[in-house]
């Protein structure tokens, strides 16, 4: 983990310092208690067993038992403290990433795959969690153990320690090569799992299209190709592991051989005690085992580091649409006059999809925007919502440039009713409160009555407390749209942007929604993205777009008479080619 990444993680986890100190202190106590164990064994062998002193043997055994108890409680405390610390850090990280995602603009979501974003919030978080719960304490314990064992061996017998540690240079080179290859491989694994999830989500989401065109085999083949790349990435890590860990084990066995050969000869010659050899053998095992564990832990740390880096990179993505430093709130009551003043815009700045649009929509006016697919009508509506900022020109609301208005105030006065009413998992009350959290139950029943759903809601077993389930799946498309209309009405916006709210409904349900829509739009400015003739006929004015430009403007009947392009579009609608 780079210093910069580590420092940023520390800043994110500010406030967790005391817990980190407590965890480190407990880890130090546990490690020291363990390292003193061979000293007690050496004392018991040399001062007790060798000379036949049962009292010393008892003292050594009690001392060793006390060290085990101290190690147990200290290690238990350390494990819990690290888990507590890690979980709170992950909670802060997860919340920070999600909050940032909610602030990012529509352009970001237009170019980002949902599966990759889900991977960031699941797999990358999981890799950090694995390290936080297990790897962190193991990393600190192993580092302390390696340093402590090296110091203890040097204190016990300098000559034997140096003989064994001559193998460390080889181990260091092997470990460095392993981390070099394994680190690269783990980063590739993190990339490939994101592709796997993105392809999986795309296939599941579009399964109806896949089956409709009998493309199951091709879709499975595409997923298989991505899975194969993921397999290759994992096998690269497996190859690194396959040569490294056996090498460490061989070095450990060689270390045993060196210590037994030279140590045994020195015991026979009387230059070393038997207890010293036993303690050195124990320390030697504890020297190589932590190095092996450390390599595993470093892999965990690299995986967590790669995940953390991706999450921070996501958090570093700046939203294209932000409040100005001097942004102001709009008045509580607005007329709802929307003006596009010489507006041009392109998702790619070099490729404009809206060009030189100047349009004034008066308070309470209902304007339908029509045109063929790709004409720019949806983009124009998104500019009114300030999902994007114009490349050139301004969009104003009651004379105020939307760039100078705070986002919360703008959303209070400009609402979107999408083509399909989206409901969040929760109750009906929760979904209505989404528009106005301070609304009373009387307010909720009032808007339900206004859009004609009060009898239906009262007939539900739990009424306003009825769970709508994920995406509102408990209700029909028409019922979801009516709830969405009630939610928009509760917000009481001055301007409503409407994406043909009845386009996907059957005739009977469409009539109910149209009646409710008339109530919601009454006295409000409405910008309607129209896909059907009826929506254009009901509008006060129609704006026809082609290739990002306004090519006709006027009432429906006037345009039928005066605009050949609009008359052709109406003819197509009437023939039912477009609905």
CB 107 within 8 A of CB 388: yes
Digit-by-digit pLDDT tens for the chain (579 residues) are 556 666 666 666 666 667 778 878 888 888 888 878 878 887 788 777 877 778 888 888 888 888 888 888 888 888 788 778 777 777 777 777 778 777 776 767 766 666 667 777 777 777 777 777 666 667 777 778 778 877 877 787 787 777 777 777 777 777 777 767 776 777 777 677 777 877 877 777 777 776 666 667 777 887 888 888 888 787 877 777 777 777 777 877 887 777 777 777 777 877 778 888 777 777 777 777 777 677 667 767 777 777 777 787 777 777 777 777 777 787 777 788 888 888 888 877 778 888 888 888 888 888 888 888 778 888 888 888 888 888 888 888 888 888 888 877 787 788 887 766 677 777 888 888 777 777 787 888 887 887 777 777 788 787 877 777 665 566 776 777 778 778 877 777 888 888 765 555 555 566 666 667 777 777 788 888 877 777 777 888 888 888 888 888 888 888 888 888 888 887 877 776 444
Domain(s) labelled CATH 1.20.1560.10 in the chain stretch across: 14-315
CATH code of domain 338-574: 3.40.50.300
Which helix or strand (DSSP H or E) is residue 345 part of? strand 338-345
Class of domain 14-315: mainly alpha
At residue 469, the 3 state secondary structure works out as: coil
Residues 236, 254: Cα–Cα separation, whole Å: 28
427 bridge partner residues: 467
Give residue 2's Cα distance to chain centre. 22
Which helix or strand (DSSP H or E) is residue 79 part of? helix 54-103
Q: What is the pTM of this model?
A: 0.60
Check residue 557 and give left, alpha or beta (phi > 0: left; psi -120 to 50: alpha). alpha
Q: What is the DSSP letter of 426?
A: S
Strands (E) across 4-140 are located at: none
Residues 514, 452: Cα–Cα separation, whole Å: 11
Residues 86, 134: Cα–Cα separation, whole Å: 9
What tokens appear for 94 in the block? 């997860």
At residue 471, the 3 state secondary structure works out as: helix
253 bridge partner residues: none
Residues 415, 335: Cα–Cα separation, whole Å: 14
At residue 537, the 3 state secondary structure works out as: helix
Give residue 213's Cα distance to chain centre. 33
Residue whose C-alpha is closest to residue 361's, from 567, 570, 553: 553
Task: Write the CA distances from 226 to 40, 187, 232, 306, integer angstroms.
Answer: 56, 16, 10, 20
Residues 219, 421: Cα–Cα separation, whole Å: 30
Letter string b/e over residues 338-372, b meaning 16 or more CB atoms within 10 A of that residue's CB? bbbeebbbbeeeeebbbbebebebeebbbbbbbbe
β-pairing, 495-498 vs 525-529, is: parallel
Residues 328, 132: Cα–Cα separation, whole Å: 43
Residues 147, 174: Cα–Cα separation, whole Å: 19
Return contacts of 94-99, CB within 8 angstroms, 24+ apart. Answer: 94/121, 94/125, 96/12, 96/315, 97/121, 97/311, 97/314, 97/315
Domain(s) labelled CATH 3.40.50.300 in the chain stretch across: 338-574
Residues 222, 213: Cα–Cα separation, whole Å: 15
Alpha-helical runs (H) found in 388-436: 407-413, 428-433
Residues 92, 388: Cα–Cα separation, whole Å: 29
Residue count (the chain)? 579
Which pLDDT tens digit goes with each residue over 114-171?
Answer: 666 777 777 777 777 777 766 666 777 777 877 887 787 778 778 777 777 777 777 7
């Amino acid at each position: 983990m780079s210093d910069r990444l580590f420092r940023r993680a520390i800043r994110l986890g500010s406030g967790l310092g005391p817990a980190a100190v407590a965890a480190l202190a407990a880890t130090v106590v546990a490690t020291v208690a363990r390292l003193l164990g061979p000293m007690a064994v050496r004392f018991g062998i040399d001062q007790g067993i060798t000379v036949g002193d049962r009292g010393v043997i008892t003292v050594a055994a009690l001392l060793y038992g006390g060290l085990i108890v101290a190690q147990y409680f200290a290690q238990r405390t350390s494990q819990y403290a690290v888990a507590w610390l890690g979980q709170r850090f992950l909670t802060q990280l997860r919340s920070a990433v999600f909050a940032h995602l909610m602030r990012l603009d529509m352009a970001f979501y237009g170019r980002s795959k949902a599966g990759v974003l889900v991977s960031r919030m699941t797999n990358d978080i999981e890799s950090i969690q694995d390290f936080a719960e297990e790897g962190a304490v193991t990393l600190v314990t192993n580092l302390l153990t390696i340093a402590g064992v090296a110091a203890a061996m040097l204190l016990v017998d300098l000559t034997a320690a140096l003989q064994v540690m001559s193998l460390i240079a080889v181990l260091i080179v092997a470990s460095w090569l392993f981390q070099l290859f394994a680190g690269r491989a783990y980063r590739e694994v993190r990339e490939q799992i994101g592709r796997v999830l993105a392809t999986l989500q795309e296939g599941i989401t579009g399964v109806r299209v896949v089956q409709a065109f009998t493309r199951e085999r091709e879709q499975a083949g595409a997923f298989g190709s991505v899975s194969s790349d993921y397999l290759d990435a994992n096998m690269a890590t497996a190859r690194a592991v396959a040569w490294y860990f056996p090498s460490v084990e061989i070095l450990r066995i060689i270390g045993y051989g060196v210590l037994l050969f030279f140590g045994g000869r020195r015991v026979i010659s009387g230059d070393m005690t038997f207890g010293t050899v036993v303690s050195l053998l124990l320390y030697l095992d504890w020297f190589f085992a932590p190095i092996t564990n450390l390599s595993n832990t470093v892999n965990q740390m690299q995986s967590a580091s790669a995940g953390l880096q991706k999450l921070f990179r996501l958090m570093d993505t700046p939203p294209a649409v932000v409040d100005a430093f001097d942004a102001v709130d709009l008045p509580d009551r607005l007329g709802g006059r929307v003006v596009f003043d010489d507006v041009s815009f392109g998702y790619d700045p070099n490729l404009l999809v809206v060009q030189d649009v100047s349009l004034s929509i008066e308070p309470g006016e209902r304007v339908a925007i029509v045109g063929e697919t790709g004409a720019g009508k949806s983009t124009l509506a998104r500019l009114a919502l300030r999902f994007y900022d114009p490349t050139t020109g301004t969009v104003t609301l009651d004379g105020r440039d939307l760039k100078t208005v705070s986002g919360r105030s703008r959303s209070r006065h400009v609402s979107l009713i999408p083509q399909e009413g989206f409901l969040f998992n929760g109750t009906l009350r929760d979904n209505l409160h989404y528009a106005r959290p301070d609304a009373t139950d009387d307010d909720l029943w009032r808007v339900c009555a206004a859009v004609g759903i009060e009898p239906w809601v009262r007939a539900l077993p739990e009424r306003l407390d009825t769970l709508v389930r994920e995406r509102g799946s408990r209700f029909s498309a028409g019922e979801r749209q009516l709830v969405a209309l009630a939610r928009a009405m509760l917000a009481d916006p001055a301007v409503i942007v409407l994406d043909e709210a009845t386009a996907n409904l059957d005739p009977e349900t469409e009539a109910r929604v149209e009646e409710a829509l008339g109530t919601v739009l009454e006295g409000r400015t409405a910008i309607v993205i129209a896909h059907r003739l009826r929506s254009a006929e009901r509008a006060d004015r129609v704006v026809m777009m082609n290739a990002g430009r306004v090519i006709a403007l006027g009432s429906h009947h006037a345009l039928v008479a005066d605009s050949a392009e609009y008359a052709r579009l109406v003819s197509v609608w009437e023939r039912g080619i477009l609905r």
